[in-house]
Structure 1
Amino acid sequence: MSQADRTLTSAKVRIAAMGDLHVKEQDSPSYKELFSEVSQEADILVLTGDLTDLGKPREAELLVADLRSCSIPVVGVLGNHDYECGHVEEVRAIIKSSGMHLLEGQAVDLNGVGFAGVKGFAGGFGRFMLSSFGEPAIKAMVAESVEESMRLENALRQIRSERAMVVLHYAPIVETVEGEPIEIYPFLGSSRLAETIDRFPVSAVVHGHAHRGKYSGKTPGGAPVYNVASHVEKPTGKAYALLDL
């Protein structure tokens, strides 16, 4: 490794992270000024899903128009809202046309940081995690949760950087969904994601989805986890968090 490469690897990278923009066709706030501000504050922008409100192609087009004011690399994943209208393939294509690194079981290296991302899925946490038992519908739900965890594992295996960030929509731990009604915890994330994360050296995890959740927590293995949904209060006092890796 050259001296230049060592310097790049050791230099701190500032990441702005936020989720749950929920861009609508009408009466949606513009994110142009925010993305422009983020470009001055950070080296990379990470978006943690629910980029659109109903998964409509027009909503994705409005997001992409706002992203033109962002002059730094953008990494992101989709959320459950981005699937709502059944046009996810078109939404995906529109978002990728902006140059965003849209991760769906893949990894990308930017500025010496490896990003591994999946949407994730529901399933519950700890000893209350849903098991594959009973009706086919329950087994299908658990299978989807397991599949997302396997895709995350495959993405993490692709990372060669010393620093790694996991990008999710659903939460991997219960701590960062605290504040939401306890009855909906099983639909906000799954401990299976944390089990996968803890098999790898991960510097930080970001997710959204839980609008009333808590900003920070840790996986059982000690990886820092941040709920960066735009609605969650953050140390920055902004809609986005700033993380140095």
Structure 2
Amino acid sequence: MPIDGKLRIAAVGDLHCRLGKHGNYRRLVDAVNEQGCDALLLCGDLTDHGHVDEAKLLAEALSGVRAKKIGVLGNHDFEAGKSDEICAVLAEGGIHILDGDHYELKGHMVGFAGAKGFGGGFDRATLQGFGEEGIKGFVHEAVQEALKLETALLRVDAPIKIAITHYSPVRDTVIGENPEIFPFLGSSRLSEPIDHHRPTMCFHGHAHYGTMEGRTLGGVPVYNVALPLLRRDHPDRRFFMVDIPLPEGFHAPPSERPGAVVTPADLHAEHESG
């Protein structure tokens, strides 16, 4: 449960679990527990090639995490056509995978809305659904993923609302990658429901060589927590961690709570890395 009126969130993406890597996650598990985190967010590409055995290994490796584990799948998790089986295996291991739905911690202090997302590019360079059927299909997938995120955010009824995706909703956090592949790293279509519903913050992965922090046009903080990026400057880093203040009076009985929500404007620059 939150300590000193704050909610502590750990987040990481792109673990790319493959057979033989079981011991690699012990430091992650120990650090999340030592920091007293309330939730561990997993931002896609949980497996390396989308094999069910990889998901089983990851679920076992993270079984010692005491915090709630919530995440989304990434493109690698679809590679072998076993995404449904992967979700089932992870669920058995206590990892809640979101795909257009949400999860709220006990007491409804925080709700997590998640969708994988998709590519398509950013801002004025966003791909439009015109021309060949292949282009239209690509754009349709991007639109559907944005609608999933919209639905999930709409259903969260908690003072702290957090969005989780694999693909980036903003250009800011993919800068550092080759510009030629920006359209395959995310889409501004994901930022539209984020700015409409104003979650406290958003986490994503996917862009291994991107930038850690950015913002939507509406000012919502966006964090790229791809593990290769987190470890680029700090090789021992295992996750990104942020403390979020609880609304004043939240610990009062539900009938006496002020009904306040935590918006991006309430945050302080007090995040740190594990």
TM-score interval (norm. to shorter): over 0.9
Partner of 1:59 in structure 2? 54
Deviations for 1:65-98, whole angstroms, at most 9, x for unmatched residues? 1011211110100000000011111111101111
Match of 1:168 among 152, 165, 170: 165
Rounded Cα–Cα distance in structure 2 between residues aligned with 1:16 and 1:47: 9
Report the 3-state secondary structure (helix = DSSP H, G, I; strand = E; otherwise coil) of the residue aligned with 1:172: coil
Rounded Cα–Cα distance in structure 1 between residues aligned with 2:21 and 2:39: 28
Partner of 1:145 in structure 2? 142
Which is worse superposed, 235-244 or 197-206?
Answer: 235-244
Partner of 2:68 in structure 1? 73
Deviations for 1:2-38, whole angstroms, at most 9, x for unmatched residues? xxxxx97x93101000000000124565212311221
Rounded Cα–Cα distance in structure 2 between residues aligned with 1:28 and 1:231: 18
Report the 3-state secondary structure (helix = DSSP H, G, I; strand = E; otherwise coil) of the residue aligned with 1:199: helix
Rounded Cα–Cα distance in structure 2 between residues aligned with 1:81 and 1:98: 19
Partner of 1:243 in structure 2? 242
- Contact kept in structure 1, 2:23 and 2:61, CA below 8 Å: no
The code of the aligned residue for 1:79 comes to G
The code of the aligned residue for 1:127 comes to R
The code of the aligned residue for 1:171 comes to S
Matched, 1:22 2:16: yes
The code of the aligned residue for 1:239 comes to R
The code of the aligned residue for 2:46 comes to L
Rounded Cα–Cα distance in structure 2 between residues aligned with 1:241 and 1:199: 25
Superposed structure 1 runs of 4+ greater than 4 Å apart: 234-237
Report the 3-state secondary structure (helix = DSSP H, G, I; strand = E; otherwise coil) of the residue aligned with 2:148: helix
Match of 2:99 among 98, 104, 111: 104
The code of the aligned residue for 1:13 comes to L
Rounded Cα–Cα distance in structure 1 between residues aligned with 2:104 and 2:66: 18
Query: If the length of structure 2 is used for normalisation, what is the TM-score?
Result: 0.83
Aligned residues: 238
Deviations for 1:152-198, whole angstroms, at most 9, x for unmatched residues? 11101111111111000000000100000000000000000001100
Partner of 1:4 in structure 2? none
- Contact kept in structure 1, 2:9 and 2:39, CA below 8 Å: yes
Which is worse superposed, 215-224 or 82-91?
Answer: 82-91
- Contact kept in structure 1, 2:22 and 2:58, CA below 8 Å: no
- Contact kept in structure 2, 1:36 and 1:71, CA below 8 Å: no
Q: Which runs of 5+ in 2 are unaligned?
A: 245-274
The code of the aligned residue for 2:96 comes to H
Match of 1:34 among 20, 28, 42: 28
Q: Which runs of 5+ in 1 are unaligned?
A: 1-6
